[in-house]
Amino acid sequence: MSLTSLLYKKLEETKWLTMEEYMEYALYHPTDGYYMNDNKKIGRNGDFYTSSFVSDVFATVWADFFVKKITQNNLDPVVVEFGGGNGHFAQQIQTAWNNNHTPPIKYIIVERSPFHRKLLEEALVDTSVTILSSFEELKQGYRSFRGIIFANEVLDAFPLRIFKSKKEGWYEKGVTLKSKDRELSFEYKKVENRSLLQTLDEIFESRNKQNELEVSFQMLQWLKELYEWTDNGSCLYFVDYGLSGDEWNNAYLKEGSIRGYYRHQMQNDPLAYPGKMDITYHIDWEQVQKTGYQYRVETLEIMNQGDFLLKEGLLLLLQDTHNPDPFSYEHKRNRAIRSFLLDSTLANGFQVIQQQKKRTV
């Protein structure tokens, strides 16, 4: 039975699904979910590019940054990457460390998708990288952890819920099946749960109530568990699309930030192509910061990706271009460096949030 058929059957039974429940089916169904199936996601024949796919300069900067932070903070030489994808980033990190003769650093990838774990095993077969299937498996191996956590475009992969404030109170935007044409469509349902109502009032206190408002309770719960597990001094770095403060109150976010990517084309309808399309959204950095604060995790800095790479030495990777061939390695690398600084998406679309768990006095 296809994923669409499964969704239709489920909706015929329940009549309505939260967006979180829909995304669980569309993205994480064990065999047909977008992240779990065998379809190619990253690259020219996929649906989107990641920064590490653009050029190895991205990973090279991060490789040096990891070493610097381990040294500065006297951390255990362990880096955990959540969501390793096809292994491009980890492969490039290993190459950079080998070229720079860096002292041994244990590299661990936690990847939920069986398809991507297979790609990782193939790409990293000649390395010492450890590949795990879950956060729980990681915690079993490390009862205490005092190292580095890194996640590139992971936070936006957690299913979310969508809410709207109306005169009568809070409503939740969910998914239903139109009886006439049997197409997936959105429908609002009034929120009755008092605890949830209070939570929504608190989270969205300063938001423009004319807009549809998004929150991923799954992401916040995952962050809580991550923050609680890490030991004092641990450094955490997240890279993603995100917004803060009044940026969320713009009129263009009337229907929220949720969208899809299918064959490198943005889809405004997140219900299109279930199981065949990535569904993503902007991260609320204030929610991330507030969650960290509960567990003594301090946000040190939030900056655009281009500014971060520039600050951490991206321009030092420019190559001498005496080679007249415009397709040479040197020219390609220099073009990539310019893209990371000038391309609106690579430079300013992504942000880097740097956090550290405070030491107890």
CA angle 274, 116, 241 (to 5 degrees): 65
- Rounded Cα gap, residues 66 and 235, in angstroms: 9
- Say if residue 336's pLDDT is above 90: no
* CB of 81 closer than 8 Å to CB of 120: no
Residues 6+ apart with CB under 8 A from 78: 105, 106, 107, 108, 142, 145, 147, 148
The dihedrals phi and psi of 228, each to the nearest 5 degrees, come to -65, -35
Contacts of residues 44-47 at CB distance under 8 Å and 24 or more positions apart, as own/partner, are: 46/264, 47/261, 47/262, 47/263, 47/264, 47/277, 47/278
Residue 216, domain CATH: 3.40.50.12710
For residues 59 and 286, give the distance between their C-alpha atoms in angstroms, rounded to a whole number: 27
pLDDT at 37: 81
Which of 120-129, 174-183, 284-293 has the lowest average pLDDT?
174-183
What's the residue count for the chain? 361
Cα atoms found within 13 Å of the Cα of residue 151, Cβ hemisphere only? 23
Q: Report DSSP state, residue 348.
A: I
High-pLDDT (> 70) share of the chain, % = 94
Q: For the residues 310-324, what does the mean pLDDT come to?
A: 84
Separation between Cα atoms, residue 309 and residue 62, nearest integer Å: 8
What share of the chain in percent tops pLDDT 90?
A: 70
pLDDT of residue 361 exceeding 60, the answer is no
What is residue 345's predicted lDDT score, i.e. its pLDDT? 81
pLDDT in the model for residue 333:
83
Residue 41 has pLDDT above 70, yes or no: no
- CA distances to 116, 145, 215 from 269, rounded to whole Å, are 26, 41, 18
Computed over every residue of the chain, the mean pLDDT equals 91
Give the closest residue to 164 by CA, choosing from 218, 207, 220, 216. 207
Among 11-20, 37-46, 261-270, which range has the highest average pLDDT? Answer: 11-20
Q: Find the mean pLDDT for residues 345-356.
A: 92
Integer Cα distance of 191 and 166 in angstroms:
11
For 40, the domain range is: 3-357
Q: Which two tokens stand for residue 278?
A: 């990535």
Supply 58's token pair. Answer: 């991205």
Instruction: Judge residue 348's burial from the number of C-beta atoms within 10 Å of its C-beta, 0-12 exposed, 13-18 middle, 19 or more buried.
Output: middle
Between the CA of residue 146 and those of 79, 183, 248, what are the distances in Å?
10, 49, 34
**Mapped to the 3 state alphabet, what secondary structure does 83-149 carry?**
CCCCCHHHHHHHHHHHHCCCCCCEEEEECCCHHHHHHHHHHCCCCCCEEECCHHHHHHHCCCECCEE
- Confidence (pLDDT) at 344: 82
Contact (Cβ atoms closer than 8 angstroms) between residue 119 and residue 97: no
pLDDT (tens digit per residue) in 198-254: 999 999 999 999 999 999 999 999 999 999 999 999 999 999 999 999 999 999 999
Which range, of 44-53, 111-120, 171-180, averages the lowest pLDDT? 44-53
**Residues 160, 215: contact at Cβ < 8 Å?**
yes
Q: Residue 85's pLDDT band (boundaries 50, 70, 90)? A: confident
Higher pLDDT, 347 or 256: 256
Q: What angle do CA 326, 347, 299 make, to 5 degrees?
A: 145
What confidence tier does 180 reach under pLDDT thresholds 50, 70, 90? low
pLDDT digits (tens, 9 = 90+) for 135-176: 999 999 999 999 999 999 999 999 999 999 999 999 999 999
294-333 burial string, b = 16+ CB within 10 Å, else e? Answer: ebebebeebeebbebbbeeebeebeeeeeeeeeeeeeeeb
pLDDT exceeds cutoff 70 at 25: yes
Query: How many structural domains comprise the chain?
Result: 1
Mean pLDDT of 123-132: 94
